[in-house]
Every structure is written in structure tokens, then in C-alpha cells.
Structure 1
Amino acid sequence: MHDSRLQQLTQWAKQQFTHAIDILPASNDASFRRYFRVYHADKSWIIMDAPPEKESLTAFIHVAKLLKPLVQVPVILAQDLKLGFLLLSDLGQQSYLTALQSLPAESLYPDAIASLITIQAATKTQQNSLPHYSPALLRQELQLFPEWFIARHHQQVIPEWLDKIFDVLIDNATAQPQVIVHRDFHSRNLMYMANNNPGIIDFQDAVIGPISYDLVSLLRDSYYVLPRQQLTQFCHHYFEQAKQQKLITQAISFATFQRWFDLMGVQRQLKILGIFCRLHYRDGKSHYLHDLKQTLCYLQQVTPAYPELKELTQFLTDHQWIDE
């Protein structure tokens, strides 16, 4: 990793500390950002490397300030927007995805749901401080499915009925209560913490959007699969908590919420299929292709229950991509 960017980062990091430090790669994500862990003695910090020509730090800084009084997020200790570097507190190396290898889901997910409710309950004061998940943005995301998954990855003709399906999914999203949405609230972005669990990262794309979006990211996670009965239990748990906080009115039945949740999941999973293929073809990040199968599994579990999605159900059945 001897690149000029890393040399810049190392020089900047040394300016932030009066003592000797070691710098090691921490992780990459699905964007152009990279993360490095800075060590001194028994302490560690994180440096985010976001090349200014490709990634803006402004949104991350803004959302970090918004979330800091509410939940556990990294503290920004130093910043250089011109260079594209942030020095952050370190929330550790144990994501929910890692923790779930040794801990039961019921010891982790209630904390994540409690944090989600706390974030959503702060929506009233933040309505104008975040972008809105507009119908145009929802449609733009959905277009990734035909462009990258159908046409590019499978070299199939894009069906004409797809726009009608997109209309159903967008109408479902906009009909829901609109709250603060993290947009990637899943097991890789939740850190298992001994205190104030979970730590929450990768929140820079936050918007005001559908109330079921982050819950479906958490419970229908492309990287970790919950048993169906447990998923339903967590869904009910969230629903009751959301009603207590008046995020959902008493008039809304669980059946209505289930439809919101399921169709929101279809929107997200179609988008993810497109994103994973784009990461492979455009960005050379081919490991995301391994997660296509689980994302397709979620779609094939859900769509048959909704007659308004019958063309999509038949399309997925006909092509049997899940068996590849």
C-alpha cells in the first residue's frame, strides 16, 4: 500500500500526535473511502481517508454531530477537508457480524433496535437538516437493478413492466412515516460495545425517509441471515417500541407495517443487486458477488405474497439466478 495518498495520510497523522505511532490498514468499504488504525502503546484511533475528488467529508461530519447526542458514534478528533482526512475515536474491531459468531442474536438486536428508535425519535428537530429520500432518488436507486444486474451481469433484455413494479415500491416508501434513515444499518456497520451498545458507523448517507428502511436493512441483512421466526419476533418488538414512541400511530396495524417492511425490503434488495454488480464491474470489488445469492433469496421469499409484484416473482422464477 505504498501509494502517495498513504504517504500524505502518514505525514498528516504524525502531525496530530506528539508521540510515535504505527499505522495499519483497518478496512475498505463499498465507496472510495479507506480506513486506517493508528496505534500508540495500548491505545488506537481511526483515520478515514476520503479522496476529496471522489468523496466529501461534509455529510459525515454533519451527521456525526447530529447523532452524537443520541447514540454511540465515532468522535471527530481532527479534520482536514482539503486533504480528505478525519481522525476518529476507535469503536473497536468487533462488528455485529463478527460478534454473531459467538453471541446469540437476541443479545445484540434489541440494542440495535433501541438505538434505531432513539435516532428516529429525533426526526422532528432534523426535518430540514438532511436530504429527503425523494421518489426520484428511490427510482434512481432502483434503476441500478436493470442497468447492472439484468443488462450488464446477465446480459438480458430489461422487461417493460419493471417501471410499474417500481411505482408500487416507491408508493409504498412514500406512504410511510418519514424519519431519520441511516441507509446502511446492518451487521457490518454496527459495532459490538461493552457499554452503550452498539457503536454505529458509515452513516454519511443519512436521509429523511421511510420508517421501515433501516429495520429491513438490519433484519434482512445481505451478510447475516436471521431465522424467519426470530426475524418476525424482532419485527414485532420494533413495531411495539415504535408505537410507544408515537413514531407509528395506533391506527396502523401490524399487517400494514409488515407490507411496508416487505416492499421496502424489495426496493432495497433490487438496489443492492445492482450495487453489488456495479462494485464488481466498475470498481473491481468482486467479493460482493458472493452476496448476490442471499439477496435473491430474500426477494424470492417475499414477492410471492404480493400479487402486485407477480411479474417480478415470475421473472425471478423463470431465470433461476438463485441456483447459479
Structure 2
Amino acid sequence: MPDIRRQLYEWAKSKITDLGPMVPLREQASSREYYRALSSGKSFILAFSDPKKELNDEFIKFSDFLIRNNVSVPKVEAFDSEFGFMLIEDFGDKVFQDEINTNNRRELYLLAIEEIVKLQSVETNTEIQKLNNNSVKEQMELFEEWFLTGYLELEVSDLEKCVINDAYVYISRKFLGQKKVLCHFDFELRNLMLKEDGSVGVLDFQDLTYGPFSLDLVSLIKDIDNPISDKEIEYYLKAYISLANESGIDIEDDLTLVREGLDFAGLQRQLRILGTLSRLHIRDGKSFRLPDLKQTLLYTIEASQKYEELKEFSQYLESKVEPALTERLGEDK
């Protein structure tokens, strides 16, 4: 057993003396490592989360904050901040990403939307940062640095840089012009658990931020692993509008405007993800998310095609970037 795993296990045993052997769980995009171990029939998650790389303090304090506000996140039972060790409540193995199918999709999406509304309804927390022009632009610029230049190795001309920058400006304005609420920031199917009691559990909430109301919605509705039809999107948006207004969030009852908000939250998120997944491959040597680039780019093209202000950007993505990605993914198989 490598040193860090042994140290994690010995630390956990000091908290729960009859703890059984620990078993590794799925690979993470982050540097975090998760394991499961049993004690007297009860299951626990053991985590190593490098304090030099991960937001451990935020994870711990936001867990407590969200639980107090009736959002279903796992409780941190014990932790060692210096070494990045945590003992966490176990929500089981049923990840929405794996559990969702044509028979239960509507039920699970509605459960998830209810949890988004709960999250958006919690008390204000002044320790949580707000998205702003600088942070939003920096996130989108990962697309250029790590995806276009880093992964695809494209040479971006001065004219193309202008087109890309104009897209950043327009997307930022539309994105940040929306009503601000508390956002999970990565509310996708792989971060949602179907608990034993049939309720939803939310993981990876350390990036909580105040941002556009549609950010978590688009993370769910435009999930990379589960594309859905326009008809379904409209159904879930109507459900969200109804639940949000019942909860006092005051979302404008205009499906066209809400759909537009979803498009621009999606564009900002997808450009960021194209960059972060490429960085994960290049810098961190983790390539298991490379296949997700294709659907992410497709979502970006589909949304940008709808707006005259993004016409040149959409054409650039479709004519130059998409063929380059297809070729590169073929090489990486």
C-alpha cells in the first residue's frame, strides 16, 4: 500500500477502530482519491485531497453550511487539514450518470431540479465568492490556451483571435446579466447520487459561487453524457420556473428568456470545460475525459448558431475547430 494510502487508513482507524479494509472508488478529474470502508455494517468514504491543490477548507465549511440549509450533501465526519484526510458520509454507489435511463429520466431530472431550487433558496453566505467579468473571462480563455493551442495545436490568426474575443465579450454580457443565485458550479449527472431513500445527494460542492440562475440548470440539462431533446428541455425549464417561483426566487415567467439564459450559461460553461478537460489531459496526464470534448463542442456550436452576434464564432468552430478535434481524437484512440 503506497505511503499516502497507508497514512490515510491509519488516520481513519484512529477515528473508527473497527474499520475494515478500504476499497478504491472511481477515478476523479481532480487530484482527490476516494475509498470506501465498512465499520459495524456502516459504510464510510475515506478521502485524500491534497491540501496544496484542492479546496479542502471550502469543502468542509460548505458541507456544514448546506446541510444546515437542507441541501442534501454528505457530512464530513472527521478531517485532518494538514494532510488532506477526510472521513465522509457515504451516499452509496448509484450515480445519476449510471442510473438514468428512458424510464426514470423525467423523475430523476425533476428530483435534481428540486435540489437546484433548494440550493438557490438558501440563506446568503458572505464567504462565498461571486462570479464577475474577470473570472468569467479567465475561465473562457482556457478554451484558447488549453484546447485550441494546447490540445488541437491550432495556430490562431489575429482575425480569429478577434472573433473569439468578441464572442467572450458578448457571452459574458449575456451570462452576467442574469439574476444571481447560489450555484454549485458543476451540477452534472456525475456529481449527483441516488440515495437509498430515493432522494438526491449532491457531491463536489467546494466551488460554490454566486452566479447566473441558469448555470446549474445548464450543467444538468446539457449534461455531456445525456443529451436530451428540445421538447424535454422546455419541459424541464417550465418545471424549474414553476418550482423557483413557488420558492420565492422570482424567475421571469418567459420561457424564451429563460432558454436564452440557458444558452449563454451553456456557452460560458462549455468553453471552460473544453479548456479544463484538455488541461486535465496535457498537464495532469488524465485522459479518461477526452471523449467528452466532442459533445461539449457540439453543444457550443448548436448554441452559438442561434445568435447573429455569434455567427462568425460559430462558423469558425464548425469549419476549423470541429474537423481538427475529430482528427485529434482519432489519433488519441
Provide TM-score, normalisation by structure 2. Answer: 0.91
SS of corresponding position for 1:106: helix
The one-letter code matched in structure 2 to 1:185 is F
* Residue 300 (structure 2) aligns with: 299
Pairwise CA distance, 1:172: 1.4
Pairwise CA distance, 1:223: 2.1
Structure 1: how far apart are the matches of 2:270 and 2:127? 27
Pairwise CA distance, 1:323: 4.4
**Cα distance 1:257–1:150, how it changes in 2: closer, same or farther (>3 A)?**
same
C-alpha RMSD of the superposition: 1.6
* Residue 330 (structure 2) aligns with: none
SS of corresponding position for 2:190: coil
The one-letter code matched in structure 2 to 1:289 is L
**Cα distance 1:20–1:323, how it changes in 2: closer, same or farther (>3 A)?**
closer
Identity %: 31
For residue 133 of structure 2, the aligned residue among 135, 138, 142 is 135
Alignment of 1:21-100 (within 5 A): 21-69=20-68, 70-100=70-100
* Preserved contact between residue 18 and residue 40 of structure 2 (Cα < 8 Å): no
For residues 149-204 of structure 1, what are the alpha-carbon distances to aligned partners after superposition, in whole Å with 9 as ceiling and x for unaligned?
11111221332221111111111121111111001101110001242610111000
* Preserved contact between residue 146 and residue 274 of structure 1 (Cα < 8 Å): yes
* Preserved contact between residue 33 and residue 48 of structure 1 (Cα < 8 Å): yes
Alignment of 1:137-286 (within 5 A): 137-158=135-156, 159-160=160-161, 161-195=163-197, 197-250=199-252, 253-286=254-287
**Cα distance 1:258–1:73, how it changes in 2: closer, same or farther (>3 A)?**
same
Structure 1: how far apart are the matches of 2:103 and 2:42? 26
Structure 1: how far apart are the matches of 2:28 and 2:138? 21
Q: Structure 2 regions of 5+ residues with no counterpart? A: 328-333
SS of corresponding position for 2:290: helix
SS of corresponding position for 1:317: helix
Pairwise CA distance, 1:121: 1.2
* Preserved contact between residue 221 and residue 233 of structure 2 (Cα < 8 Å): yes
Structure 2: how far apart are the matches of 1:9 and 1:115? 32
SS of corresponding position for 2:22: strand
Pairwise CA distance, 1:41: 4.8
Structure 1: how far apart are the matches of 2:311 and 2:93? 43
- After superposing the two structures, state which structure 1 stretch, 23-32 or 279-288, moved more: 23-32
SS of corresponding position for 1:287: coil
Provide TM-score, normalisation by structure 1. Answer: 0.94
Structure 1: how far apart are the matches of 2:227 and 2:172? 25
* Preserved contact between residue 177 and residue 247 of structure 1 (Cα < 8 Å): no
* Preserved contact between residue 177 and residue 248 of structure 1 (Cα < 8 Å): no
For residues 201-221 of structure 1, what are the alpha-carbon distances to aligned partners after superposition, in whole Å with 9 as ceiling and x for unaligned?
100011111110000000001
Structure 1: how far apart are the matches of 2:182 and 2:312? 32
* Preserved contact between residue 127 and residue 208 of structure 1 (Cα < 8 Å): no
Structure 1: how far apart are the matches of 2:62 and 2:286? 27
- After superposing the two structures, state which structure 1 stretch, 229-238 or 239-248, moved more: 239-248
* Preserved contact between residue 22 and residue 40 of structure 1 (Cα < 8 Å): no
Structure 1: how far apart are the matches of 2:251 and 2:3? 54
SS of corresponding position for 2:291: helix
* Preserved contact between residue 280 and residue 286 of structure 1 (Cα < 8 Å): yes
Pairwise CA distance, 1:226: 2.0
- After superposing the two structures, state which structure 1 stretch, 169-178 or 38-47, moved more: 38-47
* Preserved contact between residue 237 and residue 258 of structure 2 (Cα < 8 Å): no
Structure 2: how far apart are the matches of 1:20 and 1:48? 14
* Preserved contact between residue 48 and residue 85 of structure 2 (Cα < 8 Å): yes
Paired residues in the alignment total 320
Structure 2: how far apart are the matches of 1:40 and 1:102? 36
Q: Structure 1 regions of 5+ residues with no counterpart? A: none
* Residue 4 (structure 1) aligns with: 3
The one-letter code matched in structure 1 to 2:109 is Y
Structure 1: how far apart are the matches of 2:248 and 2:230? 27
SS of corresponding position for 1:229: helix
SS of corresponding position for 1:288: coil
